[in-house]
Amino acid sequence: MTPAPPHGSPAAAGEEPATNTPADGPADAASGNPEHGSAGGRAGSPGGAPQRHLAHTWQEAWQLAFDCAAPIPAAPVALREALGRTLAADVEALVDLPHYASSAMDGWAVNGSGPWILAEPGQRLAPHQASPIVTGGLIPPGAKAVLRSESGTIASDEDGLPVLQLAGSAKPGEPRNGEHIRKAAEEAVAGEVLIKGGTLLNPAHLALAALGGHDALPVLGKAVVRLVFTGSEVVTAGIPQPGEVRDTFGPQLAGVVEMLGGICAGETKIGDSYTEWLAALEDTDPAPGIPAAAVGKLPARSTAEQLPADVVITTGGTGRSGTDHLRRSVAELGGRLLVDGIAMRPGHPAVLAELPDGRFIIGLPGNPLAAMMALSTLGAPLLAALAHRPLPPVTEVPCGAMIEPDPGRTRLMPFRLLYGMASPAQHTGPGMMRGLAAADGVLVVPPHGVQLGELVPAFALPWGAALPDLAAAKDKPAPKRAARKPGGTSGPVDWSELLG
Ligand SMILES: Nc1nc2c(c(=O)[nH]1)N[C@H]1C(S)=C(S)[C@@H](COP(=O)(O)OP(=O)(O)OC[C@H]3O[C@@H](n4cnc5c(N)ncnc54)[C@H](O)[C@@H]3O)O[C@H]1N2
Ligand code: MOO
């Protein structure tokens, strides 16, 4: 283990100490500096006592964020909440489907051949008796078939009593035995498996479960996530004044959390004071508006709004100036830092912590792109682990540019796929969003850099398509080219063959 220089030394922004610690050597919560003042506002002075700060490598942080969490146990949720969840066990029909024989048409339930004497609806039908019935109506005892309303007509017999007889438009022999009757259990018998465990529930599954008599379904757990946005300079609407910044987290973070397998349960916006930080991290109440007493009375995890969070994601305040209170708040609450900085950029000040009550804290840096890279590094594996999912895949893509070494730190670079190669995007400064918005994925560039055409690890974006297996495509022999049609247009050029 190489000792890192004290973090209080005057390092330039973005130049974190690039030292590595073993994955099993989490930084100590005590490294949060309790000397930091509690004054709010962005005018806080940098400083604090020098401390030892040991950054994890990108790979260590990624793996540790996955390994530190156990899957949240399965629990029943109301049908309306179960969409998109993974079924934890087979779902059986609690009743026959349908559970009674019913009419498929408006008309008459009949017994035997016509003409039929009319009986009261619902009464047992003797031969040559009929009673009116509507679609979905319970077939009365003794009924053998249903005559559609278009095929029958009410006439009078010689005594002037009403009788049902076939209309002129009726087909000969109508209705056949069983015609227009939906038999009980024709779809499933009680006890039959309707939906297999492990299924990702779609809307039709929910309807099927309802038909099977269920009000709730057992689903694999997912993390309930609460968002805490910090920064007194952050404005949430309109054009910001100089010194203010427009909030980039409010519009995107809840959506990304859902894409990563979490359930977003509320957002809190606070300023820059230590008191606000502490209060926000201390808050274990269910989302506002829900009485805490209601939680215990409801089926576990019935809705996100009714539950305390499993994970709290904070934005900003990961630095070590007088206005950055994340580490101090975690220490005050008796928590421990699992990851305290990552040897990567952007996003190096990212934090992963665990509180004594089991809640995880992910501290995202305030800079917008840095935050999303930190969320990809810590949030994606953590939320996957909590949601019973595998570690998100890191595949390899051929690099469409030469990337210089940057000793000691991994660079996360949004890229676009151009002609089968990953081309680092423009506009990817720590505070920018243009590059990420247009990207197909993120390159995990090793400290020693990359040669043109070399394979580089990369991950897909939570909202993007999975990355194609370009590494395998690169190794395959080139397919024989079809003869070009005269006048035909040519497709994009695959430069990868020239770079093998
Ligand atoms: N002396 C040093 N200063 C800084 C270092 C360093 O190593 N030494 N690292 C820099 C890096 S890299 C990052 S990243 C940031 C981390 O900052 P914090 O997590 O403490 O966040 P803040 O200081 O609160 O804000 C940073 C930046 O982000 C803007 N911000 C905050 N919230 C939002 C939001 N919701 N939407 C858009 N932008 C937001 C904020 O206004 C600041 O401009 O520290 C560097 N400094
Ligand atoms: O580059 Mo800072 O790590 O993340 O903006």
Interior CA angle at 122 toward 116 and 123, to 5°?
Answer: 65
Q: Is the CB of 368 under 6 A from ligand 2?
A: no
Does ligand 2 lie within 6 Å of residue 346's CB atom? yes
- Is the CB of 14 inside a 6 Å radius of any atom of ligand 1? yes
Ligand (nearest to CA of 364): 1
- Fold of domain 102-182: Molybdopterin biosynthesis moeA protein; domain 3 (2.170.190)
> Which ligand 1 atom sits closest to the C-alpha of 249?
35
The CA distance from 323 to 119, in Å, is 85
Among protein residues, the one whose CA lies closest to atom 45 of ligand 1? 13
Which ligand lies nearest the alpha carbon of 231? 1
Of all protein residues, the one whose alpha carbon is nearest to atom 44 of ligand 1 is: 319
Q: What is the CATH number of domain 29-42+51-73+221-386?
A: 3.40.980.10
Class of domain 75-97+187-219: alpha beta
Measured in angstroms, how far is the CA atom of residue 316 from the centroid of ligand 1?
Answer: 6
Quick check: CB of 324 below 6 Å from ligand 1? yes
Question: Which of these ranges, 153-162, 214-223, 380-389, has the smallest mean pLDDT?
Answer: 153-162
The ranges of the chain annotated as CATH 3.90.105.10 are 75-97+187-219
410-448, pLDDT tens digit by residue?
Answer: 999 999 999 999 999 999 999 999 999 999 999 999 999
pLDDT level of residue 172 (50, 70, 90 thresholds): confident
Mutate to test the pocket of ligand 1, among 19, 236, 367 (most ligand atoms within 8 A of CB): 367
CA distance 4 to 52: 6
Which superfamily, per CATH, for 395-499? MoeA, C-terminal, domain IV (2.40.340.10)
Q: 38 CB contacts (<8 Å, ≥6 apart)?
A: 273, 274, 275, 325
Closest C-alpha to ligand 1, atom 43: 367
Residue span(s) of the chain under CATH 2.40.340.10 come to 395-499
The DSSP bridge pattern shows strands 116-118 and 129-133 to be parallel
Least confident span in 8-12, 59-63, 98-102, 122-126: 8-12
Per residue in 44-97, pLDDT (tens digit) is 444 444 455 568 999 999 999 999 999 999 999 999 989 999 999 999 999 999
First vs last C-alpha separation in the chain: 38
Mean local confidence (pLDDT), 194-216: 98
Average pLDDT of the chain? Answer: 84
Is ligand 2 within 6 A of the CB of residue 365? yes
List the residue whose alpha carbon is closest to atom 5 of ligand 1: 13
The closest alpha carbon to 460, from 478, 444, 483, belongs to: 444
Q: State the closest ligand 1 atom to the C-alpha of 315, by its place in the atom list counted from 1.
A: 32
Asked if residue 37 has pLDDT above 60, the reply is: no
Q: Does residue 348 line the site of ligand 2, with CB under 6 A?
A: yes
Ligand nearest to the CA of 365: 1
CB 328 less than 6 A from any atom of ligand 2: no
Atom of ligand 2 nearest to the CA of 367: 5
Task: Please name which of 407, 463, 468, 473 lies closest in space to residue 436, comparing C-alpha atoms.
Answer: 463
Higher pLDDT, 324 or 421: 421
Query: CB–CB of 218/301 below 8 Å?
Result: no
Which atom of ligand 1 is the closest one to the Cα of 233? 41
Going from the Cα of 145 to the center of ligand 2, the distance in angstroms, rounded, reads: 75
Cβ–ligand 1 distance for 249 under 6 Å, the answer yes
What number does the ligand 2 atom closest to the CA of 14 have? 1
Q: Which atom of ligand 2 is nearest to the CA of 373?
A: 4
pLDDT at residue number 157: 87
Predicted pLDDT of residue 49: 45
Tell which atom from ligand 2 comes closest to the C-alpha of 16.
Answer: 3
Our mutation pick for probing the ligand 2 site, out of 16, 340, 367, 433, counting the most ligand atoms within 8 A of Cβ, is 367
| CA–centroid distance, residue 350 to ligand 2 (Å) | 9
Q: What's the pLDDT at 470?
A: 73
Residue 22 pLDDT grade (very low, low, confident, very high; cuts 50, 70, 90): very low
Beta bridge partners of 263: 224
Which ipTM value was assigned to this complex?
Answer: 0.98
Q: Is 319 in the pocket of ligand 1 (CB under 6 A)?
A: yes
The residue whose CA has the least distance to atom 3 of ligand 2 is 347
Q: Spell 243-281 as b/e; 16+ CB within 10 A means b.
A: eeeebbbbebbbebbbebbbbbbbbbbbbbbbebbbebb
333 lines ligand 1 (CB under 6 A): no
Nearest-ligand number for the alpha carbon of 322: 1
CA–centroid distance, residue 262 to ligand 2 (Å): 25
Instruction: Give the Cα separation of 149 and 468 in Å (integer).
Output: 59
Q: Tens digit of pLDDT for each residue in 447-465?
A: 999 999 999 999 999 999 9
The residue type at 249: F
R_g (Cα) of the chain, nearest Å: 33
C-alpha of residue 42 to centroid of ligand 1, in Å: 11
Q: Look at ligand 2, atom 1, and give the residue with the nearest C-alpha.
A: 346
User: Is 409's C-beta closer than 6 angstroms to any atom of ligand 2?
Assistant: no
Is 370's C-beta closer than 6 angstroms to any atom of ligand 2?
yes
List % helix, strand, coil for the chain (3-state, nearest 5).
20, 25, 55
State the span(s) of the chain assigned CATH 3.40.980.10. 29-42+51-73+221-386
Task: Say what the pLDDT of residue 291 is.
Answer: 33
**Rounded Cα–Cα distance for residues 177 and 179 (Å):** 6
- Give the number of the ligand closest to the Cα of residue 16: 1
DSSP 271-336: -S-HHHHHHHHH--SPSTTS-HHHHHHSPTTS-GGGS--SEEEEES--SSBTT--HHHHHHHTT-E
Amino acid found at 486 = P
